[in-house]
Structure 1
């Protein structure tokens, strides 16, 4: 049995020896040469148209031999053809089965990579959706920080309306400035993070598109190979394609084919991992920024509470002093009235004493005497005048004290009004506004 694929060589048919190449002694009579030749004219016509008996036998022998040789060659050719047909049929069947098996194995490979690509595409779609949710959280947190910033700036602007001497750079203002600066830094961080998210989402979509194109090629190839795997000898839609057995110049190898999908999946996994890490970073950023804002807000609120307590205490002390000043003003007014009455009360005795001295100045001659009465009246006038001068001096001092008390009262009332205004700004305007700060959930972007 010959090996499949090796062409069988047909054995040469046995050659028949031509008559002209037989031994000459057989043909000598026919050629009229030799010892048995005749040159008689009477038999010339009969001899020239006839073969010799040996020639006839020889001719028949040649025909028999040629028929036997041709039949033998034909039988061997039929046997070999049958054997070759069986071999080629078996080879064709075995080759077709092997090709079908190879196509089936190729279908498994294609299905594997197609499934891997499909899984990767689904993972990228899901990861991009999760990243989009994180982006929404960042945008919500950014909106919440704008509310924080507007409240902090409103607090600073409201406190600019404090009056002197309460218009000071106190701890509250320091904390509010820190809060505003912190919010600005957080806003810049959130904006940069949003840009990173947008860029990563675009990278995810680009890699998803590459995987989808590869998956689409695998799907089309799978359908083609599946159709090829269903072809058999009974298929009705098969035909000759002589040029199809040539390899395309641009055809890939199994190694480069597998490497192409592997690289696509590797890059997709890399982008997916980068996206997962970015989502973790976003969680940390939102948690830390919310915590920092709440801590700074608490510090500012505590500074507000402390400052309000200080101003309340100062206001209470001022009110206490004002109460005492008002009482002292009343007492001083009564004192001034009493002094004036005392001065008035001294005028009559002075008039009496001076009248006495005046009338006694008219005593005649020797009776105009510096007696004890005269000395006592002069002393009385001096004492009364000194008393009146002392009372007037004290009255002047009391009146000046009253003026000072009135000025102090006005200053205290002004200071109390300033403190009340400052307390109103800090407690009613600023702290009430700060009560509308967003919650931690809103700062984290969940609302």
Structure 2
């Protein structure tokens, strides 16, 4: 520890021990810097991490002040609470008395309406039964339309498995997309019509039940309000309902409540007329949609037939070209073999000519003569090299032609496989699936 002590003087500058010899805490304390120094007056000499007396007194006085402030705030809060409790008690009594009076007034108004309701029930029941039968037809037609839609979507998905370049937007796909769009539109129309029928049935039943139940509702409401008027602070049936103050969105106003019974009969007649018009509309919709679906189905089947004929014709032509390419590949392979043999045949004459020239280069003295034999041997070697170069070039051309033929063969075979797959998809998958298309009676909702 004696090695970590540092003496601070004015001159010379304080000497510090390198960080590798002191811990960070001891180094900061010694230099009066960093997170391990204390606040207070500057001191000379070694600086410790202890608090000063001034700091101790400041902390003590802070505790005194905090205790006084909390005690004063508590006393004020007690006085305010006592005053608030007495005010709220008086307000609650006045509010409860006013509420009891208003509930009594409501009881008188309700009692005046309890004897003014009856009528239109039999006609509403009969018309609702007829509309239910039409709604059942709509639901059957909607269920039946799911089969054509699944067929159309399955055809489109199957045809997505076609490979390039057969993955085209042909006439069949256009007709299938038109069929799928037509079925979606028809389904949306049927769903909207079903919703209209459901709403109309609901309105018919609502008005029937309104005429039947309005009186009993008012009796029940009267009994509820009478019970509420008898409640007081000493009642044992009361309890907390925290969310009871929230007003319902469907709650009526006093004016609409008064007009409700008067409007019931008029609305019942209006709903009877709307129900009859809706049944006529449903008949027309089911007839037209079933005919449109069958017409579009025939158009799609015709497009499939024509497309299959096109694919069969393309397959026949591709197979003919493949047969010719295979025959040409055989001929070209034979020609490559001939060229390779010709190149190999030139190796022996070249070796002979070069060996002659090499041996003649050892002729002694003046016998090393550039005679006609020498020139002829040199020209023979050059001619052989020229022949070899020509043969090698022609061999490269032949091999390139052979590779092109092989690429063409692969392309033709691939195209044949692609078109075979396309024909299989269109004929075996799509057209076979379309044989399960529902009949007109099923589409019209009769079955």
TM-score computed with the length of structure 2 as normaliser? 0.50
In structure 2, list runs of 5 or more residues that go unmatched: 1-120, 212-264
Query: 1:441 matched to which residue of 2?
Result: 441
Secondary structure at the residue paired with 1:434?
helix
Query: 1:187 matched to which residue of 2?
Result: 187
CA contact (8 A) 2:360 2:368 kept: no
CA distance in 1, matches of 2:299, 2:345: 68
In structure 1, list runs of 5 or more residues that go unmatched: 1-119, 212-263
1:343 aligns with 2:343: yes
CA distance in 1, matches of 2:393, 2:205: 99
CA root-mean-square deviation: 4.2
In 2 relative to 1, CA 288–359 (structure 1 residues): closer, same or farther, beyond 3 Å?
A: same
CA contact (8 A) 1:361 1:368 kept: no
Query: 2:400 matched to which residue of 1?
Result: 400
In 2 relative to 1, CA 368–136 (structure 1 residues): closer, same or farther, beyond 3 Å?
A: same
Query: 1:370 matched to which residue of 2?
Result: 371
CA contact (8 A) 1:360 1:368 kept: no
Shift in Å at residue 446 of structure 1?
A: 1.8
Query: 2:140 matched to which residue of 1?
Result: 140
Q: Deviations over 1:165-219 (max 9, x none)?
A: 44444444343333222222211211232334445556777999999xxxxxxxx
CA distance in 1, matches of 2:439, 2:392: 71
Secondary structure at the residue paired with 1:163?
coil
Shift in Å at residue 414 of structure 1?
A: 2.9
CA distance in 1, matches of 2:124, 2:367: 141
Shift in Å at residue 145 of structure 1?
A: 0.9
Number of equivalenced pairs: 276
Shift in Å at residue 339 of structure 1?
A: 0.3
| Matched ranges for 1:67-216 at <5 A | 131-198=131-198
In 2 relative to 1, CA 385–195 (structure 1 residues): closer, same or farther, beyond 3 Å?
A: closer
Shift in Å at residue 131 of structure 1?
A: 4.3
Query: 2:431 matched to which residue of 1?
Result: 431
Query: 1:409 matched to which residue of 2?
Result: 409
Shift in Å at residue 355 of structure 1?
A: 4.9
CA distance in 2, matches of 1:284, 1:124: 23
Query: 1:321 matched to which residue of 2?
Result: 321
| Matched ranges for 1:244-323 at <5 A | 277-323=277-323
Shift in Å at residue 335 of structure 1?
A: 0.9
Shift in Å at residue 406 of structure 1?
A: 2.5
CA contact (8 A) 1:362 1:368 kept: no
**Bigger-Rg structure (1/2):** 1
Shift in Å at residue 129 of structure 1?
A: 5.5
Q: Deviations over 1:132-161 (max 9, x none)?
A: 443322111110111222222223333333
CA distance in 1, matches of 2:363, 2:191: 114
Secondary structure at the residue paired with 1:445?
coil
Shift in Å at residue 334 of structure 1?
A: 0.9
Q: Deviations over 1:302-360 (max 9, x none)?
A: 34344444444444444333333322222221111000111122233334444555566
The range that moved more, 195-204 or 416-425, is 195-204
CA contact (8 A) 1:141 1:444 kept: yes
TM-score computed with the length of structure 1 as normaliser? 0.50
CA distance in 2, matches of 1:341, 1:332: 14
Shift in Å at residue 398 of structure 1?
A: 1.6
CA distance in 2, matches of 1:353, 1:157: 72
CA contact (8 A) 2:361 2:368 kept: no
Query: 1:330 matched to which residue of 2?
Result: 330
